Structure 1
Amino acid sequence: MSEVPSVQSPGQTESPGQTGSPGQTGAPGQTQSPWQTARIVRVEKRTPRVTSFFFEPSRPFAYRAGQHVDVRLTAPDGYQARRAYSIASAPEAGPVIELAIERLEDGEVSPFFHEVAAVGDEIELRGPLGGHFIWPDDDEGPLLLVGGGSGVVPLMSMVRHRAARRSTVPVVLVFSARVWDEVIFRDELIGLDDRGNGFNLVLTLTREAARRPADYSRRVDVAMMVRSMARLRRPPGLAFVCGSNAFVSAAAQALIDAGVPADVIRTERYGV
């Protein structure tokens, strides 16, 4: 996913106490995790610009759907670069965690993974981090997820968590991508949608015609949110929105304009 996430709720003003950063845990009083080594055990291409790297930490840890880890690279001259990446795998997946990393041309960390990193390599990471953008295990829904591009990654952890628990909590995922080939986890999501057990996938492509009858060919808007929420049959108990700053601002406002209370909307923004 995009480098450097931050967390903010709609209606809040940006300040150090309200916006998370890679050096923060995101939860008051949460102990900061120590750095450890993690070995790459598998690499899987997701889209032309996104690749999943599967890491086996030297000290495995439990995490919650929606949390992230910090990744740190150290150059031979001692220079260090650090970025935060959300965990895509479900908490039930075992000790190996999946990070879906989007290549950013001007990034310091993502080009290393896409051009250099290979199975068997070790990197440093710490986590899990984040206490705001998580799906509580006791939440009975309905749940509305809205992701833009690589912002779908923490939402995918929630979707997989639901599937692993055989949960019937009603969930709608509205996923915006530029084109069909950039829909991360596309086949897996469509497969989950086809099960008909309360999970609904809504795809919207901004630069291409929709491929499925119920999908869209435009940016997220109020009408789309209203129709998507109708699939839940009752108002969402929680709504999670993740993506670029511009996407999150537009999607969160569309939700509010569609009648979703601001206090049930949780956002995570990606950018410097």
Structure 2
Amino acid sequence: MARAAVPGGLSARRAWRDATLVERRPETASAVTLVLDVDDWPGHLPGQHVDVRLTAPDGYTATRSYSVAAPARGGHVELTVQRVPDGEVSTFLADGLAVGDAVRLRGPVGGWFVWRPEQPEPVLLVAGGSGVVPVMSMLRARADAAGQASGQAAVGPAFRLVYSVRAPEDVIYRDELAGLAAAGTVDLRLVHTRTAPEGEPRPAGRVGEADLIADGWSASSAPTVYVCGPTGFVEAVAGLLVGLGHAADRIRTERFGPSGP
């Protein structure tokens, strides 16, 4: 299958770079956004990820991959990290990395799970838990392309996000997502799998067919679909989408470990 061109040459993307933390933003009780200033960053596309390497004083190193949470803006790379139980890297990044501290970063990585502003077709995003991070980069890029910063109305292809979380307090980027929905950048549907907010007409439960076709979003509109989350979530949603008639080659998936809704 075809792959999108990515910023920088292969050697540039394989190089490890020094990165300094310049800002921390709490998102939920277990997730934090880290803004890193990266030396000679070649840029990236919405949906790509990077490798982060930590080195202990005794020389021990640990490397993990994290999706980029915002489109390319100079030398800054934003990562939203969710603390994983017993996760040595996620715990340190979420709790121990302080402004001014340095890590090593390599990337960008990935050329399939990406979105470009010039894509004309509608886009259906389906995220589970912290799987919202790379699709948030796409939404922010769309807002940038539509001129949201200057108050213009959203233009371009229609976007819909079905976001599955365990409970209301687990929604990452809650206020920003609400703002993007109000501005018309995205049609947002929250799916609560364990605890639904009071008055919510949809009872708590996993994403089902009705969540994926509501409000006219069906296979007939031929959207490109991006699904990101834990492996089980991604496989279940992809199966539902194919069953609803979506072409398999229009479903792009990104998956990670066992944590999530």
TM-score, normalized by the shorter chain, greater than 0.5: yes
When normalised by structure 1's length, the TM-score is 0.83
Number of equivalenced pairs: 245
Match of 1:69 in 2: 50
Match of 2:251 in 1: 265
For 1:127-138, list aligned pairs within 5 A: 127-138=107-118
Is 2:185 the counterpart of 1:204?
no
Q: Once superposed, what is the RMSD of the aligned Cα atoms?
A: 2.4
- TM superposition shift of 1:237: 3.0
Is 2:234 the counterpart of 1:254?
no
2 CA distance for matches of 1:78 and 1:110? 19
After the TM superposition, which parts of structure 1 deviate over 2 Å for at least 4 consecutive aligned residues? 29-33, 210-217, 231-234
Percent identity reads 42
Is 2:206 the counterpart of 1:219?
yes
Q: Which amino acid aligns with 1:165?
A: A
Checking the alignment, whether the CA contact within 8 Å between 2:31 and 2:80 is kept in structure 1 is yes
Structure 1 residues 80 and 191, CA, compared in 2 at 3 Å: closer, same or farther? Answer: same
Q: Secondary structure at the match of 1:120?
A: coil
Structure 1 residues 146 and 62, CA, compared in 2 at 3 Å: closer, same or farther? Answer: same
Match of 2:106 in 1: 126
Greater fraction of residues in helix? 2
Checking the alignment, whether the CA contact within 8 Å between 1:203 and 1:216 is kept in structure 2 is no
Q: Secondary structure at the match of 1:259?
A: coil
Q: Which runs of 5+ in 1 are unaligned?
A: 1-8, 10-25
Checking the alignment, whether the CA contact within 8 Å between 2:219 and 2:244 is kept in structure 1 is no
Structure 1 residues 130 and 215, CA, compared in 2 at 3 Å: closer, same or farther? Answer: farther
Q: Secondary structure at the match of 1:190?
A: helix
When normalised by structure 2's length, the TM-score is 0.87
2 CA distance for matches of 1:108 and 1:157? 25
Structure 1 residues 211 and 183, CA, compared in 2 at 3 Å: closer, same or farther? Answer: farther
For 1:67-106, list aligned pairs within 5 A: 67-91=48-72, 93-106=73-86
Cα shift readout 1:220-246 (whole Å, capped 9, x = no counterpart): 111211215x15795233100000011
Higher RCO (CA-CA < 8 Å; seq separation 6+): 1
- TM superposition shift of 1:251: 0.9
Is 2:171 the counterpart of 1:183?
yes
Q: Which amino acid aligns with 2:100?
A: G
Q: Which amino acid aligns with 1:64?
A: L
Structure 1 residues 139 and 60, CA, compared in 2 at 3 Å: closer, same or farther? Answer: same
Q: Which runs of 5+ in 2 are unaligned?
A: 147-154
Cα shift readout 1:191-231 (whole Å, capped 9, x = no counterpart): 1111235x200100111124686766321111211215x15
